[in-house]
A and B are shown apart, each in its own frame.
Chain A
Amino acid sequence: AQSVTQLGSHVSVSEGALVLLRCNYSSSVPPYLFWYVQYPNQGLQLLLKYTSAATLVKGINGFEAEFKKSETSFHLTKPSAHMSDAAEYFCAVSESGNEKLTFGTGTRLTIIP
């Protein structure tokens, strides 16, 4: 069975500071990994995905994530936080890319002016 752990249900960073949101996964097969963002009262929007190609994945809005098999991690980073980044972020795993998504519990990112 697959699972996702997101450390830190709330993360606060100052505007312009580094954003780091942590995600660790468990999967019995090589996983497909995703980061989704949810703005208030909105649906989920894909930020980026890992599908066994390059281990450093670049996404929208300046976000990127690195797949580290040895650490079973897929942490999300952004060099400089912007006020518009305030949202809920979800890490998700899927086996084979053609299966249901299993989500982490989410991390609420707050940006301090």
Chain B
Amino acid sequence: DTAVSQTPKYLVTQMGNDKSIKCEQNLGHDTMYWYKQDSKKFLKIMFSYNNKELIINETVPNRFSPKSPDKAHLNLHINSLELGDSAVYFCATHSRGTEAFFGQGTRLTVV
């Protein structure tokens, strides 16, 4: 039973489209994150939610909108996709005193 699951694993789409990535965790953790890994493997935080409340928004274009319907889910919706949005997006969770657990990633390719 996967602790942090993301769907889809691969996503290929055209510029200008709108797409969503979903994340679900069954660890009961309070905090969920979205990280972006670029083509050079650099990982950077995008958003953090704690108990459905947005805590961190790291200078991400407002075309990216996270939504947390409940503590176990954090989805990422992206409007008007651009070529530069191509990356691997990782969902992660943790609670106080534990390490972060990562999903398997969603490889987004914008063509």
Interface readout for A55-66 with B: 1 if CB under 8 Å, 0 if not? 000000000000
Determine if B105 and A43 form an interchain contact, defined as CB atoms under 8 angstroms apart.
yes
Q: Residue of B at shortest CB range from A46?
A: B99
B43 close to A (CB within 8 Å): yes
| Bound-complex Cα distance A51 to B97 (A) | 9
Inter-subunit contact B102/A100 (CB<8 Å): no
Question: Does the CB pair A101–B104 fall under 8 Å?
Answer: no
Q: Would you give the 0/1 interface string for B20-49, flagging 1 where the beta carbon is closer than 8 Å to chain A?
A: 000000000001010100001111110010
- The answer to whether B102 touches A43, judged by C-beta atoms less than 8 angstroms apart, is yes
Residues of B within 8 A of A105 (CB): 40-42
Interface size on A, residues (CB 8 A): 22
B12 contacts the other chain (CB 8 A): no
- In the complex, are the beta carbons of B90 and A43 less than 8 A apart? yes
Q: Tell whether, in the assembled complex, residue A44 and residue B102 are in contact, meaning their CB atoms are under 8 Å apart.
A: yes
Given A100-B33, A106-B42, answer yes or no on A34-B99 (Cβ-Cβ < 8 Å).
Answer: yes
**13 A-B residue pairs with CB within 8 Å:** A41-B105, A43-B90, A43-B102, A43-B105, A44-B43, A44-B92, A90-B43, A97-B97, A98-B31, A101-B35, A101-B100, A105-B42, A108-B41
A69-113 contact mask (Cβ, 8 Å, vs B): 1 or 0: 000000000000000000010100000011011110110100000
Total residue contacts A-B, CB cutoff 8 A: 52
Chain B positions near chain A (C-beta within 8 angstroms)? 4, 31, 33, 35, 40-45, 48, 56, 90, 92, 94, 96-97, 99-105, 107
**Complex-state Cα separation, A43 to B43, whole angstroms:** 12
Q: Which 6 A-B residue pairings sit nearest by Cβ, starting from the closest?
A: A103-B43, A43-B102, A44-B102, A43-B104, A98-B96, A100-B45
Residues from chain A with a CB closer than 8 A to the CB of B105 are 41-43
Which chain A residues border B56 with CB–CB below 8 Å? 100
Which of chain B's residues have a CB closer than 8 A to the CB of A34?
Answer: 99-100
**Cβ-defined contact, B99 with A49, below 8 A:** yes
B44 proximity list for chain A (CB < 8 A): 103
State in angstroms the CA–CA spacing of A27 and B103 once bound together.
Answer: 27
Q: Which residues of A contact B4 (CB under 8 A)?
A: 43
